[in-house]
Amino acid sequence: MTLRDRLSRVWVIWTLIATFALVQAVAWTLAGGVPRRAGVLAQVFTAWAVMLTLAWLASRRIESLSNRIRQHEHTHQASLGEIEQLQTQNAMLQIIAQSVDVTLAFQALASRIARLVPCDRVGLALLDESGQEFQTYTARVHEQERRARPRPEVVFKTDRTLLGTVIRTREPLVVPDTADVAADFLDANVLQSAGFSSVVMVPLLSKGRAVGTLNLVARAADAFGPAHASTILPIAELFAVAVVAQQLQMALGRHRSVEAMSDLTLGISAEINSALQTIIGHCDLLERGYPDPNLQRDLATVVRQAQRIAGLLDKMRVAANDRLREVEAAVSEAGIPSSPEEFGKGISAEP
């Protein structure tokens, strides 16, 4: 029951009381005035006391019922919001399980995020490896505007940008009107020039590490508040985990490629070195069996070149072993598990 319905019903009750009072007053006027007999007056006053009491009780009852209905509506709306958020998180987990492409998951979930917090665009800004630049992506939330895949758009520095401010403070940022900050921040100026008046930015944090921001923009001013930032914060946390997982997978892929190349180099160098030793041995036998000076000179040249190649192979093996150690150290530093036990340690370390 809305407030208007409640007021209308209470108004009907008291209108009926007032109408009855008016009718009675008219009847008494036509009858020549208020009755003089004490019994009639007592009945009239008793009837009025009962009617007023019942009207007051009915009004209180309607107000009580309307308050309860309003509380139920608020609870219902809150439950619907929580269900929508859980559905969005579940959809995100399913998408990430199918593909670690964060930008693709971002495009697929943009419309769901817009249902949680109404907006005109959803943006994703990812920090590069140097931590000095953002690569931004924009998803259009309306079906007629959506793209098959998000395309990289503007690259922003961390300096003099709202994105950099969010990364440094690691706190959500709500800008009611981009026109107020457009002169101080480059990305706010770009948004304001594109016709977007308000924005909310939430950092992507994974184990205290900032990897980017999740941004919602609207053409209307004052479209967002702190409650909206709190609503999308769990989504931002999942995005942060997905971004870190994608970075780790890419790093692991590079490390495995280097490891495979190093193993291949070591294997080939061992085979070549074995062949070179065979050549050097046969040259020694020829040198002892044939005393021809010209032949011995040629054989000595072959042996020197073979020994030179063997030396180069030794350097290749040393470099390959060093590179393997660097890869192992990089994998360990990046926190990439290499055994089931390390997965267990990572899970138990979570707060």
What is the separation, in whole angstroms, between the first and last Cα of the chain?
A: 44
139: amino acid identity, one letter: A
What is the band of 176 on the pLDDT scale with cuts at 50, 70, 90? very high
pLDDT digit string, tens, across residues 80-115: 666 666 666 666 666 555 556 777 778 877 887 888
Give the C-alpha separation, 313 to 303, whole Å.
15
Q: What is the pTM of this model?
A: 0.56
Residue with tokens 């007053």: 25
Chain centroid, CA 215 distance in Å: 9
Alpha-helix runs per DSSP H in the chain? 3-30, 38-98, 102-116, 162-169, 186-193, 226-289, 293-334, 340-348
Residue 335 contacts residue 255 (beta carbons within 8 Å): no
**Which of left, alpha, beta for 133 (phi over 0: left; psi -120 to 50: alpha)?**
beta
Give the C-alpha separation, 239 to 89, whole Å.
10
pLDDT digit string, tens, across residues 255-288: 777 777 877 888 888 888 888 888 888 888 887 8
pLDDT digit string, tens, across residues 297-306: 888 888 888 8
**Statement: 100-245 belongs to CATH 3.90.180.10:** no
Delimit the domains of the chain by residue range: 3-86, 100-245, 249-348
Using CA atoms in the order 222, 227, 228, 232, what is the torsion angle rounded to 10 degrees? 160
The enclosing H or E element of 99 equals none
Side-chain-side CA neighbours of residue 203 (13 Å): 19
| Partner residues linked to 135 by β-bridges | 126, 155
Return the number of other C-beta atoms located less than 10 Å from residue 7's C-beta. 13
Residue 191 contacts residue 199 (beta carbons within 8 Å): yes
